[in-house]
């Protein structure tokens, strides 16, 4: 008789012993027998529960990291901050993207590819931008005048600050200062004025794809 055959016979005997024990007490049922059999025979139920708990903790760590970062993170950054291996990060991101696309949450996870690398960011949905801006800055939105100035910069960039002021008037200085403070616009010295361009934060802030570089 082979070793495998012997193990099969022992396994069968052990299971029958469990069944007889339950039947002898008069309290046994098929469900309680199966439960006891799983516990005694060491079937993988406990391990499955442990794996499920570990996966839940891992997903929570990734969620917390995305929430606190408030910017796009690549795979290497997620690995660094969470301590989770790259393969598990990729699998977890698929699950989180699916989760947030299905649940009725005010939060959303954005995914985009830049230079062959996947980037991920947790953000509030667009319909709540004004609420967030009101909480963070105490303002309901950019003023209409600021919106118009920022639109010109976005459309004409790179553009000199002096040109913006000619178009929008001296109030544009305050607008531009505000945009630079928020990190939405970059200013580089150009002779007696500044050359203005949009920063990466501008695209992150408005969840836009960055314009291709010329």
DSSP string computed for 18-60: HHHHHHHHT---HHHHHHHHHHHHT-THHHHHHHHHHHHHHHH
Predicted confidence at residue 204, as pLDDT, reads 77
Predicted confidence at residue 156, as pLDDT, reads 86
Q: Which parts of 70-160 fold into alpha helices (H)?
A: 75-82, 86-102, 129-137, 144-156
Predicted confidence at residue 141, as pLDDT, reads 61
List, in order of start, the domains of the chain with CATH numbers: 3-43 (no CATH), 52-125 (1.10.10.10), 142-205 (1.10.10.10)
As averages over each run of 10 residues, the pLDDT of the chain (214 residues) reads 48 48 47 51 55 83 86 91 91 90 83 88 77 57 81 87 88 90 88 89 73 49
- Whether omega for the bond prior to residue 158 falls within 30 degrees of 0, making it cis, is yes
> Which residues neighbour 79 within 8 Å (Cβ) at sequence distance 6 or greater?
85, 86, 89
CA separation for the pair 20, 22 (Å, rounded): 5
In sequence order, the β-bridge partners of residue 194 are 189
> Which residues neighbour 54 within 8 Å (Cβ) at sequence distance 6 or greater?
none
Predicted confidence at residue 212, as pLDDT, reads 46
């Amino acid at each position: 008789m082979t070793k495998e055959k012997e193990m099969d016979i022992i396994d069968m005997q052990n299971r029958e012993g469990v069944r007889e024990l339950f039947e002898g007490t008069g309290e046994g049922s098929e469900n309680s027998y199966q439960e006891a059999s799983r516990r005694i025979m060491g079937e993988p139920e406990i391990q499955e529960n442990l794996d499920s708990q570990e996966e839940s903790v891992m997903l929570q760590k990734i969620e917390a990291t995305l929430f606190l970062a408030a910017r796009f993170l690549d795979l290497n950054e997620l690995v660094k901050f969470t301590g989770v291996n790259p393969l598990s990060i990729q699998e977890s991101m698929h699950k989180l993207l699916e989760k947030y696309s299905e649940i009725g949450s005010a939060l959303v996870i954005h995914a985009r590819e830049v230079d062959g690398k996947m980037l991920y960011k947790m953000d509030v949905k667009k319909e709540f931008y004004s609420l967030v801006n009101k909480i963070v800055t105490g303002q309901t939105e950019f003023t209409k005048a600021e919106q118009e100035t920022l639109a010109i910069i976005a459309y004409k960039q790179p553009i000199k600050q002096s040109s913006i002021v000619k178009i929008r008037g001296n109030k544009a200085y305050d607008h531009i200062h505000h945009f630079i403070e928020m990190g939405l616009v970059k200013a580089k010295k150009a002779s007696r004025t500044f050359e203005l361009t949009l920063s990466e934060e501008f695209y992150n802030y408005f969840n836009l794809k960055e314009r291709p570089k010329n």
